[in-house]
Amino acid sequence: METKIEPSGGKEDRRSRCKGWWWWWFFVFVFGVLVVALAVVTILRHYFHSRPSSGVPSHPGDVAEEYVNALGIAMQFFDVQKCMGTPLDVVTDYLAGKLVNNRIAWRGDSGLEDGRQAGVDLSKGMYDAGDLMKFGFPMAFTATVLSWAILEYGDQMDAVRQLDHAHDSLKWITDYLINAHVSQNVLYIQVGDPKIDHDCWERPETTTEKRPLTQVNVSFPGTEVAAETAAAMASASMVFRKLNSTYSGLLLNHAQQLFAFADTYRGSYSISIPQLQQFYNSSGYGDELLWAASWLYLATEDRSYLRYVTVGNGRIFANWGTPSWFSWDDKYPGVQVLLSRINFFGAKETSVSENVGLQKYRETAEMMICRLLPDSATATSSRTESGLIWVTEWNSLLHPVASAFLTVLYSDYMLTSRTPVLYCSGKSYKPADLREFAISQVDYVLGKNPVKLSYLVGYGIRYPQYVHHRGSSIPINATTGCQDGFKWLHSPDPNPNVAAGAVVGGPFLNETYIDSRKSSTHAEPSTYNSALLVGLLSGLVSRSSVPKSFV
């Protein structure tokens, strides 16, 4: 039987080729659809990104890598400063309270018995600066600033993987503050004696000196420190609202109690406890009362707090029309910018008189901003030749970083509310102009200065090697005690441990810097400086603006 062979190009071959061509055309069709879709998406992205912000932050796009890197380093100083652990006799919580995920290899548990003599667990919190003191006033300010940074720029922190670190650092402080508030009208505000502490030079892990406690109460009031602690807890309650509602509610309850205590028993802690005047002496408490009430209004939407800062106490405490410098002691500029936020975006059911008060805060905030802009008619002369804001020799970087942080916030409020310009004596400035000033300050800190030195330890090629910091300056295997540890203060060798993220005090007015551990004025870092820098950098890592409400 003869087998029939289909010639080349026959029916089966044609079917095979047709099937192959069908798949080829399908591939071309799908590829074409993808190309068109990609083009449409690109056009839409360009269109929407070129429009003014709607007020809802997008995922950060163009990130500034230098600020991302600096933010990651700055965040580490909170770990450097942690007082770590829980009291040794709390067996069930001991392992949970010890340092977990330690990012600073040369730090270990310390202060495990803080508060034990009073039956209080004060083992957390953070050391203030280069010493081993826990000062509640600046520590609470650190927490408030860090909360503010997270609330405004948490999405940007998250995009660069720093949000979890920020939450952890904030909670380390607020855990301490909760324990320090032992009853409605009693707040522990200090662990350690400055004289005893400063007469020693030793690592926190090995210190054996006594650490007495100081409290404010109805007999010895401390309105400013109680109100600042209330502000810290109120702002943090919003940070943790979605993460842990129970913890958030606990913080808010403490905040309300502390504000009532601060307002009812008015008195400066510097007067009540005169021995505290040498360190963090307060210039008054009116600003802290307004600061705390502002944060409580945002946390609760209770109009009584809004009335407190406007109709009730605005004329008494607000210093409208008199701009000043934001710091751990002066919250007025912070209050003005924070309440400007409410004025920009509106508040529910406000009265005419309340709106008038909010407008006065905003006007004063703009006076403060105008002083900072270098070519404004009202520009301050308190700056170096290169343009760094310079107010005081001690910790000279505090004010430029704090000022730049507030300026970035205000710039973003303008963008989000679609406010095109700010007027300074008739001259208009755009949000980009405000941002440019903030960038000039942070760039100076990061190394664009006459001495080409980064004042953020661990960042850049050159940064201070002789930081005035006990733990950083003493080798981890040293066996020195209180007095003989001073040999490390006077050692000619650089610090053996890098205090990553530390912002040193800063340069002289003539823009020189002496890298010496013996100069606490210029070489000592502080926890609140790092909080302000974290807030500033978080606002600069991308071009996203802020949402219209804290949620």
Neighbouring-strand partners of residue 503: 456
Separation CA 524–CA 505 (nearest Å): 5
Contact (Cβ atoms closer than 8 angstroms) between residue 404 and residue 441: yes
419: exposed, middle or buried (C-beta count within 10 Å: 0-12, 13-18, 19+)? middle
Q: Does residue 468 carry a catalytic annotation?
A: yes
Task: Give, in degrees to the nearest 5, the angle at Cα 362 between 361 and 364.
Answer: 65
Q: Which residue has the tokens 């034990």?
A: 116
User: 3-state SS of 301-351?
Assistant: CCHHHHHHHHHHCHHHHCCCCCCCCCCCCCCHHHHHHHHHHHHHHCCCCCC
C-alpha closest to that of 137 among 313, 299, 284, 314:
284
First to last CA, the chain: 87
What phi, psi does 428 have (nearest 5°)? -95, 145
Alpha-carbon separation of residue 7 from 2, 18, 21 (angstroms)? 15, 17, 20
Contacts of 224 (CB under 8 A, 6+ apart): 137, 262, 268, 269, 282, 284, 285, 287, 288
Instruction: Pick the closest to residue 409 from 526, 545, 266 (CA basis).
Output: 545
Please check whether residue 98 is in contact with residue 109, taking contact to mean a CB–CB distance below 8 angstroms: yes
β-bridge partners, 191: 134, 213
Query: Which pair of tokens denotes residue 388?
Result: 């760094």
Q: What's at 232, amino acid-wise?
A: A
Taking the CA atoms of 104, 107, 113 and 114 in sequence, report the sign of the dihedral they define. negative
State how far the Cα of 263 lies from the Cα of 251, in Å rounded to an integer. Answer: 18
Closest CA to 289 of 223, 346, 205: 223
Considering the candidates 167, 181, 254, 468, report the single residue annotated as catalytic: 468
Tokens of 48: 């929407």
Dist. CA 65–CA 248, nearest whole Å: 33
Residues with a catalytic annotation lie at 468
